[in-house]
Structures are given as structure tokens and as C-alpha cells.
Chain A
Amino acid sequence: MKLTVWTYEGPPHVGAMRVATGMKGLHYVLHAPQGDTYADLLFTMIERRDHRPPVSYTTFQARDLGADTAHLFKDACRDAYDRFQPEAIIVGASCTAELIQDDPGGLAETMGLPVPVIPLELPSYQRKENFGCDETFFQIVKHLTRPQELTQRITANLLGPTGLGFRHRDDIQEITAILGDLGIDVNVVAPMGATPADITRLPAAHFNVLMYPETGEAAARWLERNHDQPYTKIVPIGVGATRDFIAEVRAITGVEGQVDDSRLRLPWYSKSVDSTYLTGKRVFLFGDATHVKAAARIARDEMGFEVAGLGCYNREFARDIRALAKEFGVEPLITDDYLDVEKAIEAAQPEMILGTQMERHIGKRLGIPCAVISAPVHVQDFPARYSPQMGWEGANVIFDTWVHPLVMGLEEHLLHMFRDDFEFHDAAGPSHHGGHAPRPMDASERDEAPATPVVQTDGSIVWLADAEKELRKIPFFVRGKARRNTELYAADKGVSEISVDTLYEAKAHYAR
């Protein structure tokens, strides 16, 4: 038993729903109690879908448990086929139905339905949503693909995008354009938008683009083994990764087409002088492994940030994230416990968090700006405008998204210069963020530092009043770092009282 306040991933059957809802002509018959129908609103509300997810729930009740729940399942299966006439059906159980062991797969097989029926085994008490996506898509691919002649032109399948995915809708468009420039057509995008018939003809493509390893890797590996389709290993999020991806595609296919990057603005925006203030900003990264890996490279190489910590919530990719953390010289954080993430962020004292919707709330509590880089998704992650993460436009979107929460360029210096201005002080917040009128500083904030030394929590190091007052003159967005560095320096030197001198000695010590 494990106490959980918030979860990063839903149960695996929600992953299966993401595949089914992304596809067309497929129906999911889910053995589940009535409460599990809440999952429909993830799609209709968060993603604003205009159709119900293609899912029939058996909605068994307590009184059915003594009787015949298997019969309920078969009825639901038959009704679903009669009403929706799908090309294929996937069947499975949610966490509760798993316990009553009705074997939906076996039951459905005996029914002689005239379409393929694909049984899913998704262990609800061990695995989670991303596994549910990956496994479901893999089973669909395994059951439905048939050997095909390769297309005449060079084509690729795009694998991994699902319903309720983080910017999947727009990433597909971006990657399709890049491949188009290279002279490569898209054979099938799957699961998103594919019918079971489309799945059948996956092997006609020359190679696969694995867009999201979390949701498509098992299928990509299987296609490589069974249909000799190589797949791309680089996820094209960020400028460097997109260029590497293009090189990888050229190497796989031998095409030599040029990709038009005239729309790409990140490199110049990052070089322009206004961005100087981004230099060395300490960022903490957390999300799914794929987006964190991409974000780490962008943060360091394309924005000039310093990565102060990183981690992911999907254990399946723990090894990748450990290797990445080693490369960046930080401790990897592999956890799906929201409170652990909060603790780690608090300890790292970053100047910005690049995380999920959950970290936004951590940021709010700790007063640290946050930009969202990964699922779990929120209604805000389905913007009306075109807003990919991949490719050139993705890089542009990421630049804007990451810079937006920060105090900008010259404003940072003005804040420094006029920090005692009653309307333009720390608590006033960045001027481009509405919603909070500047609150005049109250007397305690403006007045002298406390007369008595402030004892630190561990009791060992004491800030003298003058030093505390001096510290307060440092802009709030670097004050935490200054405090921490000074204390580290003092501890290192065996100093138990921090004076103004200690503060500036520490500053000199850490200056580069």
C-alpha cells in the first residue's frame, strides 16, 4: 500500500483508452464498474473532443458479482459491435474487473464476432498509463499488420501519438512537413487518426519515426524485428535534436532533400543580446523521460541555462535518465511521488522549473516560475493555436514558453536598480504577468533588517543583521542561490556567523 496525493499517470486501462480514442474504427470493450466511466471526461473535457471515446463499459455493480458478470461482458461486447460496427475490437479489464478474473479476452474469443478481437493484459496493480498505451498499441500492431509491398516512393510511419497526448496533434504536422521537405511521404500515422485497416499496411513504409518512445517503442521494435523496418532513435525536440533527427533520417533512407529552416527563430533569439540574462539560470527538469531528455539538451545548449536537477516519473526509462543525470552532473530523481519531487525542488532552489502541471503548483507554492514541458496534461495543454514541441516551430514555441514565466531582460536590471521603489519591488512580480496589482511593500519589508541575528534552521550558522540586510538587496530571483552559496561557503570555512564580508567573500568564491 502506498499513500498517494497526486498521480502523474493514470491506470493502464486509461492508456488503452488513449490509443482507442486516438484511432478511428476501433472499439474498446472495458470490463469495469460504473465509476470508471469518469475517464470519458479526460477526453471530452481536457482535450475538448467532440465525440465520446469509443469505449463500452460493462458497469457491473455489487449485486452482479454474486451472479454472472461474464454474461454482462458478453452482452456489452455484442451490443458494442451491433451499434458501432467497428473494424476491430480491443477488450480488457480495469483494476476491479482484473480481481474478479472473468478473462474478457477468452470470453470475447468464444463469441465469434466477425472482426478481429484483440485481448489486452494490462496489470493494473503493477503498471501505469504509459505502459497501457505502449502495450495496447503493440498488441494492435501485432494482431493486425500483414506483410506488404514497400511503397514506391520513400515513406515513413509516424508512431506514438495518441489521444490526450502532450502536443501530439501539432507534432504530427511539424514532422510531416520536415519529412515532406526531405522528399518522404507519410504512410500511416498511428495510433492517432489510424483505422485498423491503416494498421494492416504499416509494413509498406520504408521506416518508422518513433515520435514518443513512451507510447510507441514496443510497436516500433516489433516492426523492426518482424518487418525489417528501422526506426528513428532521436526525438526531434529542440534545434540540435531536430538537426540530428534529419541526419538520422538521411542515413536510414539515403535521401538528400534540404529542409527549409527559414521559420526557425530560436537560435537568433537565444543569441540576441536581450537573452543575455538567461545565462546560467538554474533550472530543474521533471516530466516524462523523453521530454526531460530533450529539455535538458535545449536548456544547456540552446538557452544557456544550468541544469540544477532532473528526473522523470516513468520508471521504465530510469536507466536513460540516470545516464543523462550523470552527463549533467546532477542526481537523477526517479519517482512518481509528488511530495518527493517537491522536496527535491525545494532543496535544489532552482530559478525556474521545467515540469508538468503538477510542478506548476510546486512552483506556485515555492515562488519559483515554471513552464510546462510534459504530460500529464491539463486543458491548457491543448491550446487553440498551432503549438508543437517538435521541429523548428516546436523550438520557437519552447523558447517563448520557457522565457515567458521569467522576469525579462532589461526588466531584471531595472528591478535590481530600483529595488526599493515601492511599486517595483520583489513582490510585485514580472510586469507582463497580469492578475496581481503591485502590492506596496509593508513596513517590515522596507525597514531595517532584524536587529537580532537570524538563527538558521540547523542552528549552526547565524546571519548577522547587517549581512541579512545586505542579502535582501540582492534581487529575489537570485537571492535563494546567494543565501545557499554563502551558507555553503561559511560551513566550508568553519564560519558560524555570516557577516557582510562573508557574503561578499562567498560571492567572490563562486564567481566565475
Chain B
Amino acid sequence: MNDYTSIPSSGGCRDLPVLKERGQREVFCGLTGIIWLHRKMQDAFFLVVGSRTCAHLLQSAAGVMIFAEPRFGTAILEEKDLAGLADAQEELDREVDQLLSRRPDIRQLFLVGSCPSEVIKLDLARAAERLTQIHAPHVRVLNYSGSGIETTFTEGEDACLASMVPGLAETRERELLIVGALPDVVEDQALGLLNDLGIDRVRTLPARRADDAPEVGPNTVFALTQPFLGETHAALTRRGARHIQAPFPFGEEGTTAWLRAVADEFDVSAETFERVTAAPRARARKAIAAQAAELNGKSVFFFPDSQLELPLARFLTRECGMDAIEVGAPFIHKGLVGPDMDLIAPGPVISEGQDVDLQLDRARAARPDLTVCGLGLANPLEAEGLATKWAIELVFTPVHFYEQAGDLAGLFSRPLRRRERLRLEAAE
């Protein structure tokens, strides 16, 4: 009955050669994750220690400025900070004091490293330790790097979550930990499904508030909801927790496979699994079918962006009937996306890293029906007649699990539908 996890007869593309490129990359840095992380963790503040460029990126990255009282800011390095480093630590203490006195609601403060702070080797770990001592127990100060010389886009979330793991309390309980920042509504759906399966000791990382932080230990098993959480995976493994491998919960098939892997871990009976998932699976299939009519038989080309590319290619090729021409990812962590790769039939070029001009040449030659790419490339490619989907929307929009499966397909079908709909020429 498990035909949805059947590996293509040809064996998937996990072990096929990968095109590795090293050239100009057209991607965001890890600071970008702050845009969604600060909304997810409601008592956290993200203080980037960086340059004016970092501040400018944060206010531009979402495409619009987010002016709801931001829980992030940039401590902009100035000439005098670059001259002497001892000074920079003092300056940081002062800025943090000011910030925390203005925002008494803040319980977790992340000092976020940037390209300039990494290059001048500003020791933010030391600063975090010192500031934690000063501001404990009310505020916990952590640090991670979101710098563009070390992290690509979603790796910022990975670095952030990984930085929280060593500080999590120890537990011997057998608990399930769901890892990855999901919109609350999606997270609640997932917790509801797991609860219905009879798995009731479930925690999430990140928690919405500092007081709800999960515990971790040798009896913890964890499932990732995002494919870019390699460092967090390693940090949890170091704490003795065990990873449940599965395809990622995108689409009906991905969600079912993900839930199935978790259910098997907790010895949930086949009957229970069927009873709990049958209705949402049917809904998801129906919702996808409504969108897939427009996607069926169309070709898709992924530029590297969020590391979601391989799981999404699996979804689009298997559940929406699309043909993948190239699936580019900034990094391919086979320990995490391997199960998704097993399900992708051989055929597409799988590429890792980027040389954007060469990749653009390939996309222009292939003329895909849909190109998934970053905001910097989308309008230029549209102007060349290629339909595009901005990749960043896939990270900002609720797309996981059954109830969002149709929305996920809709993100890809809408650009195609729009092109069909517009009539901008003379009538004849």
C-alpha cells in the first residue's frame, strides 16, 4: 500500500553525479532568516553586529519594509570600532544595555555575526557569555553567524537553531522534537495530527517563547521540517538525540511519508495511521489536483536559493506531473535530502553551488515553462519571456503539511495561469 514511498524503478537520483559549480552566486546571506525568525520567537531580539549593508539588506530583503515594531536591529560598525577591538566589546555592552532597558519584554537576545564582524574577528561568543552573566536570569544572550561569507540564506536559521541546542535542558524522557521555524498555524496542524496519532510528548524548536524551550537528551527523537537544518541536526545528535529520516512534509506524498516515518518510530498502528490521515490526505490530493492540471507536463528549472529545491522538485515531479530540467541547490546535504532524492526519477541536472551567468545560459537554452529563482533574477527572466516563481515566497508562505499542499502547488501554477490570462495585444 505504500506506493507513495516507492522508489522509482530507476533508483532515484541520490547517487547520480552532481554538477558542482563555483562562480558568482546570486543568493541572500544568512541574516535574511531574521525576517521570519523574529516573528516566530516572540520574546527574542536579533542584534546584527555589522555594517550599513547588513541593515539595508534586512529592510530590503522581504521586498517590502516591515514596519511592525521590529525585534531586530543592527549595531553598525564605524571607523573607530575597526581601529581597536577591545573597544568594540565595550561598545557592544553599551548598545545591549540600552536595547534591553528599552525593551524589557525581551528574554532571548541573539548577537548575530556578519561578514565584517567575522573578518575583523569580533568575538561574539565571548560577548554573549559575558552579557548572559550580566543580564541573567531574565535574558539569555546567544550568538550565531549569519554572515554571507559563511552562510547562504536559510543557513541563517540553521545557525540560529543550532546555537540554541547546547543551552537546552537535559531530559531522559522519550519525546518527539519537531525542528524548524514554521508559521504557528502550520505548526498547530502538525501537532494536531501527531496528537491524533497518539504521540503526545511533542516539543518544537524553536519554541514561540523562551519559557517553552524544549528539553533534549538520549531518548529524544527529532524530525526536521526543513531541509536546511544540517548544523542543528549535528548539534542535536551531539546531545544524544536521534534523527528520524524521511522525505520532507511538502505535498500529500511528502507529508504522508514524513508522518509515516514518525508513526513507525512510535509504533502507531496502520489502522490508526489510516484513520487519522485518510481525510486530510484526500483533501490534499484534491487541492493539488486542482492546481496540477496547469502544471502537468510543464518543465521547471530551479536556481539555488533555500535548499528547499530538491524536496520541492520531488513534489512537483511526482505530485504535479512536472518535468524538472535542472534542480540547483546551494548545498546538498544527502543525509537530510537523501530520502527526497530517492524519489526523484533520474533525468534532471542536479547542481550544487552556482556560477550564475553559466546557469542563466543553461536556463535560456532550455526555455523552461517555469523558472524558480531569486528576486534579483525574476523580472529580468520574465522580460526574456520566461515565467518565474520567486523562491523567497516558498520560505515566507505556509506550505508544509496536508492543508497547505494545494497552496504550495498554487504558488507554482499562479505565474503560469497569469500568463494565460493576460491579453495585452490587439484583439485580432
Contacts and interface: CB of A to CB of B under 8 A. Distances in A.
Contacts of B378: 44-45
Interface string A226-268: 0000000000000000000000000000000000000000000
A7 B115 contact: no
Interface in B70-111: 70, 73-79, 81-82, 88, 91-92, 94-95, 98-99
A49 B31 contact: no
Interface in A48-90: 48-52, 56-62, 64-65, 76, 79, 83
Given A44-B377, A124-B51, A99 B116 contact: yes
Interface in A353-395: 357-358, 361, 364, 378-379
A4 B53 CA distance: 12
A37 B357 CA distance: 14
B95 A3 contact: yes
A491 interface: no
Given A40-B376, A41-B375, A1 B81 contact: yes
A52 B149 contact: no
Contacts of A10: 52-53, 56, 60
A452 interface: no
B120 interface: yes
A14 interface: yes
Contacts of B169: none
Contact of A34 (B25, B357, B380): B25
Interface in B348-387: 357, 374-380, 382-383
Which size class do A's interface residues fall under? 35 or more
B74 A3 contact: yes
Contacts of B24: 37, 56-59, 76
B119 to A, nearest CB: 5
Given A3-B98, A5-B70, A65 B119 contact: yes
Contacts of B95: 1-3
Contact of B380 (A42, A50, A94, A96): A50
A357 B79 CA distance: 29
A495 interface: no
B28 A7 contact: no
Contacts of A358: 65
A148 B28 CA distance: 45
Contacts of A361: 65, 67
Contacts of A128: 52
A34 B98 contact: no
Interface string A423-449: 000000000000000000000000000
A1 B75 contact: yes
Given A2-B76, A94-B53, A7 B149 contact: no
Interface centre among B56, B75, B152 (most CB of A within 10 A): B56
B145 to A, nearest CB: 9
Interface in A90-132: 94-96, 99-100, 124-126, 128
Given A33-B147, A96-B119, A125-B77, A52 B55 contact: no
B199 interface: no
Nearest to A125: B79
A11 interface: yes
Contact of B78 (A7, A14, A64, A125): A125
Nearest to A100: B119
A459 interface: no
B57 A4 contact: no
B59 interface: yes
Contacts of B82: 99, 125
Contacts of A48: 379
Contacts of B78: 1-2, 125-126
A44 B53 CA distance: 18
A34 B148 contact: yes
Contacts of A5: 70, 73
Interface string B105-132: 0000000000110111000000000000
A37 B119 contact: no
A358 to B, nearest CB: 8
Given A4-B74, A38-B60, A96-B149, A49 B51 contact: no
B380 A44 contact: yes
Interface in B137-170: 147-150, 152
B262 interface: no
B27 interface: yes
B294 interface: no
B61 interface: yes
Contacts of B55: 4, 6-7
Contacts of A37: 24-28, 376
A99 B119 contact: yes
A3 B50 CA distance: 10
A505 B23 CA distance: 74
A36 interface: yes
B14 to A, nearest CB: 26
B412 to A, nearest CB: 20
Residue from the set A41, A48, A58, A357 with the largest chain B CB neighbour count within 10 Å: A41
A13 to B, nearest CB: 8
Contacts of A7: 52, 55-56, 59
B29 interface: yes
A38 B57 contact: yes
A3 B29 CA distance: 20
Contacts of B98: 3
A52 B59 contact: no
Interface in B1-38: 23-32
Contacts of B375: 40-41, 44-45
Contacts of A14: 53, 56
A358 B148 CA distance: 27
A358 B77 CA distance: 23
B29 A52 contact: no
Interface centre among B25, B70, B75, B382 (most CB of A within 10 A): B25
A127 to B, nearest CB: 9
Contacts of A38: 28-29, 32, 57, 60-61, 376
Contacts of A64: 149
Give the interface centre of A10, A361, A364 by most chain B CB atoms within 10 Å: A10
Q: Which among A33, A58, A60, A379 has the greatest number of chain B C-beta atoms within 10 A?
A: A33
B29 A35 contact: yes
Contacts of A57: 24-25
Task: Identify which of A52, A57, A126, A378 gathers the most chain B CB atoms within 10 Å of its CB.
Answer: A52
A35 B67 contact: no
B374 to A, nearest CB: 7
B57 A35 contact: yes
Given A1-B91, A33-B115, A96-B149, A11 B380 contact: no
A84 B91 CA distance: 45
A96 B380 CA distance: 27
A357 B177 CA distance: 42
B388 to A, nearest CB: 11
A44 B379 contact: yes
B53 A124 contact: yes
A34 B61 CA distance: 14
A33 to B, nearest CB: 4
Given A35-B28, A35-B31, A36-B57, 17 more contacts: A2-B75, A5-B70, A9-B52, A11-B51, A35-B147, A37-B24, A37-B25, A38-B29, A39-B60, A48-B379, A50-B379, A50-B380, A50-B382, A64-B149, A76-B24, A126-B78, A378-B64
Interface of A: 1-7, 9-11, 13-14, 33-42, 44-46, 48-52, 56-62, 64-65, 76, 79, 83, 94-96, 99-100, 124-126, 128, 357-358, 361, 364, 378-379
23 contacts: A3-B98, A4-B55, A6-B65, A7-B55, A11-B51, A11-B53, A11-B56, A14-B53, A14-B56, A33-B29, A33-B147, A33-B149, A44-B375, A44-B376, A45-B375, A45-B378, A50-B382, A65-B119, A96-B148, A99-B119, A125-B82, A128-B52, A358-B65
Complex A-B, nearest 10 residue pairs according to Cβ-Cβ distance, in ascending order: A35-B29, A35-B148, A40-B376, A50-B383, A96-B115, A41-B375, A1-B91, A95-B51, A33-B148, A10-B56
